[in-house]
Chains A and B, each alone.
Chain A
Amino acid sequence: RKEVEQDPGPFNVPEGATVAFNCTYSNSASQSFFWYRQDCRKEPKLLMSVYSSGNEDGRFTAQLNRASQYISLLIRDSKLSDSATYLCVVNSPGGYNKLIFGAGTRLAVHP
């Protein structure tokens, strides 16, 4: 089983739609969770951290469910510019700042 698993997609949605991605992780001791965004042939960039209480940044909402070991990302009112691959990232406990990346979920927003 992979340490971090994501549905690869693609998710094809129209502009204005709400879309949700889930990600599961295997190590119950993980404490840091992130969503990164990666545009085609570009480097990953931090979208948002995921906190235990859930957090929101504009149209983006991230939630963490420790009991079930999954995190989610909700995007409301999708824009064309949201088209990208979204990477779920979880820290590897016990080491120096090691991060485990999911393979990513691809989102395509169409007019």
Chain B
Amino acid sequence: NAGVTQTPKFQVLKTGQSMTLQCAQDMNHEYMSWYRQDPGMGLRLIHYSVGAGITDQGEVPNGYNVSRSTTEDFPLRLLSAAPSQTSVYFCASTPRAAGLADTQYFGPGTRLTVL
């Protein structure tokens, strides 16, 4: 049982490049989400999914796309990287999609630098 896994751990991009951050969980959790963490700002929700085939925007969705074709995987795509997207990205999952918030299980994070 690996929990939530993220790849890559580190990435450097040039402005304008695109890439996909991978996230997978093996706990059969319904809910998955992507956050970014910047100094002094806490974690901010980018996109989330309440189940396969269903995604929605969070607080800071611009410049990012997501899809959820399976319960296990929730990739985050950067369409055209910008220096403002330099951040640490965390993927998280929770057993249930609705109701009161449950424990969020976080992946180890991806540290992205955009030059």
Q: Does B40 contact A (CB under 8 A)?
A: yes
Which residues of chain A (86-100) have a CB below 8 Å from chain B? 87, 91, 96-99
Chain B residues whose C-beta falls within 8 Å of the C-beta of A99 in the assembled complex: 45, 101, 104
CA distance A34 to B43 in the complex (A): 14
**A34-B101 contact, Cβ under 8 Å, with A44-B43, A101-B43:** yes
Q: Does A4 contact B (CB under 8 A)?
A: yes
**Interface residues as binary, B94-112 with A (CB distance below 8 Å gives 1, 0 otherwise):** 1011111111101111000
- Interface hub of B42, B100, B104, B107 (most chain A Cβ within 10 A): B42
Q: How many A-B residue pairs have CB under 8 A?
A: 57
Interface of A is mostly: loop
Which residues of chain A (35-74) have a CB below 8 Å from chain B? 41-46
CA distance A108 to B32 in the complex (A): 32
CA distance A55 to B99 in the complex (A): 21
Give A residues with C-beta under 8 Å from B: 4, 8, 31-32, 34, 41-46, 87, 91, 96-99, 101-104
Give B residues with C-beta under 8 Å from A: 31, 35, 40-45, 48, 50, 56, 58, 90, 94, 96-104, 106-109
In the complex, 8 of the A-B residue pairs with CB atoms within 8 angstroms, ordered by the A residue number, are: A32-B101, A43-B107, A44-B43, A44-B90, A96-B98, A97-B96, A98-B45, A101-B43
